[in-house]
Structure 1
Amino acid sequence: MSALETVLVDGDVRLEPLAAHHIELLRAACARDPDIWEIYPVSMLGEHFDRAMEDFHATTNWVRFAVLHRGVLVGMSCYIAPDESNHVVEIGGTYIEPAARGSAGVNSAIKRLMIDHAFACGFTRIEFRVDSRNLRSQAAVRKLGAMHEGTLRRNRITWTGYVRDTCMFGLLKTEWSGGRG
C-alpha cells in the first residue's frame, strides 16, 4: 500500500480509499451530471461506468479516493502516477456531483487534503492536467496557487473521439500556502 493511500478528513469532507462498497454510490453520483462527461477523458455515465471502473482497477499506478461530504458519497479524486524517485505526483480524475460543487467548498477541501498529504509524504511537486475546455477546473487549480506551465496540444483522445489540448499546471511545495488565497 502506498503511503498516499489513507483516510483524509477536513471538517465535513472525508476521502476514503475507493473500495467495493463505494462503487454503486459512485455510479449514482456520476449519473447526477450527464453533461459533464463530454469534457472528461473517459465517461463514467450509464453503460460506460462498469468499463471505466474496470480500467481504473487495471491501472496500478493510481491511488483512488471516494469523496464523502457530510457522510454522503459525492464523487472521487485520485493521485495519478506517483513518482517517488522524482518526488512528483499528479492529482486528477476528480468528479464532484453538482450539489457539492461551488459554495460547499468540497473541491477546495479535497485538493488541500491531497496536496498537504502528498507534501507530507515527501513529494515536492504536484501536477494537474486539465482539458483546455474545462474552465471551471482551470480556475480551481489556479486558486490553489498552481501555475499554468503550458499547454500540450492535441495530446489526448477522449472517449468521444475529440482530440483535446491539455493545460499543464504545477504546484511546488515551496509555493504552497495552503490554498486559502
Structure 2
Amino acid sequence: MSALGIEMVDGDVRLEPLADLHIEPLRAACARDPDIWEIYPVSMLGEHFDRAMEEFHATSNWVRFAVIHNGTLVGMSCYIAPDERNHVVEIGGTYIEPSARGAAGVNTVVKRLMINRAFACGFTRIEFRVDTRNQRSQAAVLKLGAVHEGTLRRNRITWTGYVRDTCVFGLLREDWPEARG
C-alpha cells in the first residue's frame, strides 16, 4: 500500500499525499462548488468540512491525495481500501473544483496517473462507485474505459439522509491500453 501513496506528476498536474498543509486550501477549493455536495456521500462544505476530515483521518485504509494544478490545490482523490490479496482497489473520494473541470482535463490526468500507479503496484482490478444522480462522474468513468457492472440499490445513506443507489464500474488491467503496452 505504501507504493500507492507516492507523489505523482504529469505536466501541470501533481498528486501529493494529503497533509496538514493542504487542509485550508482544500477547504477553499471545496467551497467553490456549494451545489455539488448535495450528491456526495459526505459534505466538505462550511461547517461539515472539519467533521469530514476527521472521518477521513479515522479511516486507515484510504490513500489520500491533494490535487495540484498549476501550483494551486484544486481538489482531492483517493485510493479506497486497497486489497493487495485480491489485487483490487477503488479510486474515489474525488472532488475537483469547477475551474479545473472539463476543458482543463485535470480529472482525466488524475485518474490516468492513479490507474497507472495501481496497475504498476500489482493491482489487476480498479473499481469506481458513483451515485446514480452524478451523471458527469459516470460519463468520466466510462470515458476511461471502465465497464458499468451493475447498480447497488439503496446501499448508502448520504449526509443529507438521501438513500442513494450506486453504480459500480470496473476497469481490468487487460482493458487499460497503457498497461498492455
TM-score normalised to structure 2 length: 0.98
SS at match of 2:2: coil
Structure 1 runs (4+) greater than 2 angstroms displaced? none
Match of 2:78 in 1: 78
Match of 1:87 in 2: 87
AA matched with 2:68: L
Whether 1:176 and 2:176 are equivalent positions in the alignment is: yes
Unaligned stretches of 5+ residues in structure 2 = none
Query: Which is worse superposed, 1-10 or 136-145?
Result: 1-10
SS at match of 1:110: helix
Give the superposition deviation at 1:119. Answer: 0.2
Distance 2:169 2:132 in 1: 11
Match of 1:41 in 2: 41
Distance 2:114 2:32 in 1: 24
Aligned pairs, number: 179
Distance 1:161 1:120 in 2: 38
Q: Percent identity?
A: 83
Give the superposition deviation at 1:151. Answer: 0.1
Give the superposition deviation at 1:3. Answer: 1.3
Match of 2:56 in 1: 56
SS at match of 1:80: strand
The residue correspondences of 1:4-15 to structure 2 (distance < 5 A) are: 4-15=4-15
Contact persistence 1:127–1:168 (CA under 8 A): yes
Contact persistence 1:39–1:131 (CA under 8 A): yes
Match of 1:120 in 2: 120
Give the superposition deviation at 1:178. Answer: 4.1
Distance 1:69 1:93 in 2: 18
Give the superposition deviation at 1:177. Answer: 1.6
TM-score normalised to structure 1 length: 0.98
Match of 1:29 in 2: 29
Match of 1:151 in 2: 151
Distance 2:85 2:103 in 1: 37
Distance 2:143 2:10 in 1: 18
Give the superposition deviation at 1:2. Answer: 1.5
Distance 2:176 2:24 in 1: 35
Contact persistence 1:76–1:95 (CA under 8 A): yes
Give the superposition deviation at 1:88. Answer: 0.1
- For residues 58-81 of structure 1, give each alpha carbon's deviation from its aligned partner in whole angstroms, at most 9, with x where no partner exists: 000000000000010000000000
